[in-house]
Amino acid sequence: MMNSLLILDGIGVQNWTYIIVGLTFALYIGIAIWSRASSTNEFYVAGGGVSPLANGMATAADWMSAASFISMAGIISFAGYDGAVYLMGWTGGYVLLALLLAPYLRKFGKFTVPDFIGDRYYSKTARIVAVFCALLVSFTYVAGQMRGVGIVFSRFLEVDINTGVIIGMLIVLFYAVLGGMKGITYTQVAQYCVLIFAFMVPAIFISIQMTGNPIPQLGFGSELSDGSGSYVLDKLDGLSTELGFAEYTEGSKSLIDVFAITLALMVGTAGLPHVIVRFFTVKRVRDARKSAGIALLLIVLLYSTAPAVAVFARTNMIETVSNQPYASVPQWFKTWEGTGLIIFSDKNEDGIIQYVADPEQNELVVDNDIMVLANPEIAKLPNWVIALVAAGGLAAALSTAAGLLLVISSSVSHDLIKKIIKPGISEKGELVAARLSAIAAVCIAGYFGIHPPGFVAAVVALAFGLAAASFFPAIILGVFYKRMNKEGAIAGMIVGITAMLLYMMKYKLGWFDDVLPDKNEWWFGISPEGFGTIAMLLNFIVSITVMNFTKAPPQTVQDMVEHIRIPSGAGEASNH
């Protein structure tokens, strides 16, 4: 037994990565071949026959992207208390989606969000605007996933980030194009198992290592096991203030920005097309409710662990590298340095790593996105745990990327080609169009993965803002306000998405600086990640105002909306 453990421990990280990632990829591809789609119904909604448990696991995997797995704990590591907005916004948003939208949209029984908006608002124009918004949200979101894939590959398979993105593209292309929603669903079930195991194992190990408590959620609030009598968070507060940073447990964001970001993430979640479409894959409305509840429990497992991972990683990193001679830093530091995601500039040429808050004196730059991935290496965990985290990061990124690519392909093939451009297209022709659209989407996603506008979670947060600005008001008003008409919905979506895009262009890309106020002065003190809240409110105001000056929807549409909300018969098959 001991000899076996020594042999296992002697296998290098890269070899372990090849073994574990290779096995998981073989599993995903095998599932895709087994569950390949043979009809548009299977391609778009997996035939509508997925069980609540499988759909709950697939929804959790679809929901927990590279931003959740890789980047969220990284943001919390550096932002401390301020990073809580991501936890509050994303988990609160899922509750909002499960309670307010999932059952009603399932009862409506359409393939996509643009399909719902096109039929609910009885308008080809509304459908086209919704398709544009779906494509914009999905491409913005998928850029973050592909970057996450590139980061994992660049470190653990020792290829550059661009090559890593291309490898990820090929894997997603295979099972998304072949299996459609049917293949993606069962692949995501496997990916959830991989990613949650990969996230929890190192968290448990490090919690035991630092505090003696095997439960990470309790460990990061416990006493250290070094006999000092101090608590983990108190120690991190002390380390932070010694280096000139604010206390880890104190926030620096303004209250209005915290509120705006949290709300934008919440309502953006409820408008995300790749998550909403998951509720069309179950047999009954009550199954949609069940799968939403199961997914929430599975999501909470990771989200409640992320703050602990953030604290452990930050504490270990500061103790390992701050004020240490560069010549004696551990191997993990130099390996990550080779990816360009850690940069050491010896400004005073003394050979000591000065990691401080003052930008003039600071010599170390650490990318947020490496904290979860490097955490097991910093804590000196076994090589197989390090490789497992790599496989988990890939599972998280690829599962969400696949769901987004399906939204993109179905928006083009079903909502544009089938519903508008060529209504007479055969089912076989539509399936071909869906697969060709998925191929094109993968190529575009790869480009954005190679040239992303920021680190993973920042890109994803912008996607939530776009979803909040465009879809959330149209869906909420479409379900709960039968007087809402096409003119109001179209005007609201256009104004909301335009406002969000302009704000992103100015404060993320630096456009319009010659005609608008200084780039660093956010409007109302709200960051681009939170501006989705303002854009959403504009959408609501414009939608309701325009509605009041235009005629009511046809009576058939109003009756349809009334029917969606009737709970009787909720267990029946479709209830269109």
What pLDDT shows up at residue 568? 45
Q: Which has more confidence, 213 or 151?
A: 213
Q: How confident is the model at residue 244 (pLDDT cuts 50, 70, 90)?
A: confident
Helix, strand, coil share of the chain (percent; to 5): 75, 0, 25
What pLDDT shows up at residue 452? 63
Q: Mean per-residue pLDDT for 373-397?
A: 87
What pLDDT shows up at residue 331? 85
CB 142 within 8 A of CB 463: no
What pLDDT shows up at residue 569? 47
What pLDDT shows up at residue 245? 86
What pLDDT shows up at residue 199? 93
The percent of residues in the chain predicted with pLDDT above 90, rounded, is 17
What pLDDT shows up at residue 546? 97
What pLDDT shows up at residue 305? 93
Summary mean pLDDT of the chain = 82
Q: How confident is the model at residue 541 (pLDDT cuts 50, 70, 90)?
A: very high
What tens digit of pLDDT does each residue of 332-360 get?
Answer: 888 888 878 888 898 888 889 888 888 88
Q: Which of 74-88, 219-233, 535-549, 554-568 has the highest mean pLDDT?
A: 535-549
Give 560: exposed, middle or buried? Use CB within 10 Å, 0-12, 13-18, 19+.
middle
Over the range 291-318, which residues count as b (16 or more CB within 10 Å of their CB) and which as e?
Answer: bbebbbebbeebbebbbbbbbbbbbbbb
Q: Does residue 567 have a pLDDT over 60?
A: no
What tens digit of pLDDT does each residue of 101-113 get?
Answer: 777 877 777 667 7
Domain annotation covers residue 445 = yes
Domain annotation covers residue 263 = yes
What pLDDT shows up at residue 349? 84
Q: How confident is the model at residue 5 (pLDDT cuts 50, 70, 90)?
A: very low
Q: How confident is the model at residue 495 (pLDDT cuts 50, 70, 90)?
A: very high
Domain annotation covers residue 11 = no
Phi, psi of 511 (to 5 degrees): -75, 160
Q: How confident is the model at residue 399 (pLDDT cuts 50, 70, 90)?
A: confident
Q: Which has more confidence, 180 or 287?
A: 287
Q: Which of 63-77, 467-481, 539-553 has the highest mean pLDDT?
A: 539-553
> Within a 10 A sphere around the Cβ of 290, how many other Cβ atoms?
17
Domain annotation covers residue 363 = no
Domain annotation covers residue 52 = yes
CB 290 within 8 A of CB 284: no
Phi, psi of 223 (to 5 degrees): -75, 145
| Closest residue by Cα to residue 131 from 523, 411, 401 | 411
- What are the DSSP calls for 67-101, one per residue? IIIIIHHHHHHHHGGGGHHHHHHHHHHHHHIIIII
Q: Point out which residues pair with 352 in neighbouring strands.
A: 325
* Alpha carbon distance 441, 421 (integer Å): 19
What pLDDT shows up at residue 10? 58
What tens digit of pLDDT does each residue of 445-472 get?
Answer: 788 777 765 545 556 677 788 888 998 8
Longest dimension (CA), the chain: 80
Q: How confident is the model at residue 91 (pLDDT cuts 50, 70, 90)?
A: confident
* Alpha carbon distance 279, 273 (integer Å): 11
| Closest residue by Cα to residue 390 from 148, 172, 193, 184 | 148
Residues ≥6 apart with Cβ < 8 Å to 149: 66, 164, 165, 167, 168, 394, 397, 398, 401, 449
Q: How confident is the model at residue 100 (pLDDT cuts 50, 70, 90)?
A: confident
Structural domain harbouring 34:
20-321+378-564
Q: Which CATH number belongs to the domain containing residue 305 in this structure?
A: 1.20.1730.10
What pLDDT shows up at residue 126? 92
What pLDDT shows up at residue 174? 73
What tens digit of pLDDT does each residue of 25-77 get?
Answer: 888 878 877 776 666 666 666 566 788 898 889 888 877 877 788 878 888 88
> Where is average pLDDT lowest: 9-13, 138-142, 396-400, 548-552?
9-13
What pLDDT shows up at residue 576? 43
C-alpha distances out from residue 20 to 29, 391, 401, Å? 14, 7, 20
Q: How confident is the model at residue 273 (pLDDT cuts 50, 70, 90)?
A: confident
C-alpha distances out from residue 479 to 118, 149, 475, Å? 13, 37, 6
| Closest residue by Cα to residue 394 from 74, 171, 101, 108 | 171
How does DSSP classify residue 408? H
Domain annotation covers residue 9 = no
Q: Does residue 555 have a pLDDT over 80?
A: yes
Return the half-sphere exposure (C-beta side, CA atoms, 13 A cut-off) of residue 77. 25
Q: Does residue 196 have a pLDDT over 80?
A: yes
* Alpha carbon distance 421, 434 (integer Å): 14
Q: How confident is the model at residue 204 (pLDDT cuts 50, 70, 90)?
A: very high
Domain annotation covers residue 366 = no
What pLDDT shows up at residue 497? 93
Q: Does residue 226 have a pLDDT over 50?
A: yes
C-alpha distances out from residue 83 to 77, 200, 318, Å? 8, 20, 18
Domain annotation covers residue 6 = no
Q: How confident is the model at residue 511 (pLDDT cuts 50, 70, 90)?
A: low
C-alpha distances out from residue 230 to 209, 224, 249, Å? 15, 6, 15
What pLDDT shows up at residue 6? 44
Q: Does residue 3 have a pLDDT over 50?
A: no
pTM given for the model: 0.82
What pLDDT shows up at residue 37? 65
Beta strand segments in 286-358, E: 342-344
User: What total of structural domains would you count in the chain?
Assistant: 1
What pLDDT shows up at residue 522? 80
Q: Does residue 4 have a pLDDT over 50?
A: no
Residues ≥6 apart with Cβ < 8 Å to 83: 72, 75, 76, 77, 310
* Alpha carbon distance 561, 108 (integer Å): 9
Q: Mean per-residue pLDDT for 541-548?
A: 96
Q: Mean per-residue pLDDT for 280-309?
A: 85
What pLDDT shows up at residue 111? 62
Q: How confident is the model at residue 2 (pLDDT cuts 50, 70, 90)?
A: very low
